[in-house]
Amino acid sequence: MLVLVAPGQGAQTPGFLTPWLELPGAADRVAAWSEAIGLDLAHYGTKADADEIRDTAVAQPLLVAAGLLSAAALGEVAPGAVAGHSVGEITAAAFAGVLDDTAALRLVRTRGLAMAEAAAVTETGMSALLGGDPEVTVPHLEKLGLTPANVNGAGQIVAAGTLEQLAALEADKPEGVRRVVPLKVAGAFHTHHMAPAVAKLEAAAKELTVADPTVSYVSNKDGRTVATGSEVVSRLVGQVANPVRWDLCMETFEALGATALIEVCPGGTLTGLAKRALPGVRTVALKTPDDLDAARTLIADVSAAR
């Protein structure tokens, strides 16, 4: 079974959209999305520097657009399950047919603006902890006032909180943690700091036309599959202020019988986690269009094995 996944914020790098816009029809599609949401996605994906695309209001729509564009470039894909990490859940909702592409971009534009506004209230951020035992790490984070905002599995937890709290973590790492790596994000996402964004997303969600998922949609909230479009959207709204449980998502992939996983552009993070947590599952990360042939071969192999 094939799982199609979409990365979250922090995966973006300057110019990463450039080669994708050279594909037939891609520039026109991105131009239409840009007009729909009032943001020049082509500019930010090709010419903007790292600080500009670190802006939450820019990064989130850019990541969803890149995910949708790269998935479309694959051609016919019939995954058995889809999932996204954090903002990638909106990309996954489009993969599952819950939202159309334009609706997904409009929702993520609202999400990005609302979360950027919430993040501006207090100086906050996120750092990845590499290594360590969750049973030791989580209590240590809580002692410092930090939230384990992403429990990613494969020995990785992301802490979120104020910059002061993150500095204290750098000076006082939990036992067994090898490194603390600051992430390219502009706020403490998936914590109580994002609570003001929830109400704005709730209002935006009421305007959406949704459909039930056409494939298994695996939720960040608890790793469970979600059967209705209304529940998917409800979870998308609440998830901005609650931890991401990617470890549980990967457990569900395994339980569903996943044999292959493709991560859409800008791929790399989630395939890296899968290689450590899901041995035996073949992976392809879409970083540039050069990766499309390997992904198509993997899709064909999965289809032939059915």
Spans of all domains in the chain: 2-120+191-304, 124-182
Q: To 5 degrees, how large is the angle CA 128–CA 134–CA 135?
A: 150
Q: Say how many CA atoms lie within 13 Å of 115 toward its Cβ.
A: 33
Tell me the residue length of the chain.
306
Q: At what angle do helices 101-119 and 56-74 cross, to 10 degrees?
A: 160
**Residue 19: count of CB within 10 angstroms of its CB:** 15
Cα separation of 226 and 273, whole Å? Answer: 23
- Could you tell me the fold of the domain covering 124-182? Alpha-Beta Plaits (3.30.70)
pLDDT of amino acid 80: 97
Cα separation of 38 and 18, whole Å? Answer: 20
User: Is the predicted pLDDT of residue 16 greater than 80, yes or no?
Assistant: yes
What phi and psi, each to the nearest 5 degrees, are found at residue 97?
80, 10
Active-site residue, selected from the candidate residues 190, 193, 216, 219? 190
Q: What is the pLDDT of residues 243-252, one digit of tens each?
A: 999 999 999 9
pLDDT of amino acid 186: 82
pLDDT of amino acid 244: 96
CATH, range 2-120+191-304: 3.40.366.10
Q: Say how many CA atoms lie within 13 Å of 267 toward its Cβ.
A: 25
Active-site residue, selected from the candidate residues 34, 70, 85, 86? 86
Q: What is the pLDDT of residues 144-193, one digit of tens each?
A: 999 999 999 878 899 999 999 999 999 999 999 999 999 878 899 999 99
Q: What is the pLDDT of residues 30-86, one digit of tens each?
A: 999 999 999 999 999 999 999 999 999 999 999 999 999 999 999 989 999 999 999
pLDDT of amino acid 305: 84
CA distances from 23 to 17, 36, 62, 248 (A): 11, 21, 17, 35
- Give yes or no: 230 in active site: no
Q: Which of 105-109, 182-186, 188-192, 210-214 has the lowest mean pLDDT?
A: 182-186
User: Is the predicted pLDDT of residue 306 greater than 80, yes or no?
Assistant: no
Q: What is the pLDDT of residues 216-227, one digit of tens each?
A: 999 999 999 999
CB 200 within 8 A of CB 114: yes
Q: What is the pLDDT of residues 265-283, one digit of tens each?
A: 999 999 999 999 999 999 9
Question: Which strand ranges, in their side-by-side order, compose the sheet holding 2-6?
Answer: 225-226, 216-218, 81-84, 2-6, 260-263, 282-285
**Residue 178: count of CB within 10 angstroms of its CB:** 11
- Give yes or no: 192 in active site: no
pLDDT of amino acid 155: 81
pLDDT of amino acid 1: 96
Over residues 138-145, the mean pLDDT reads: 96
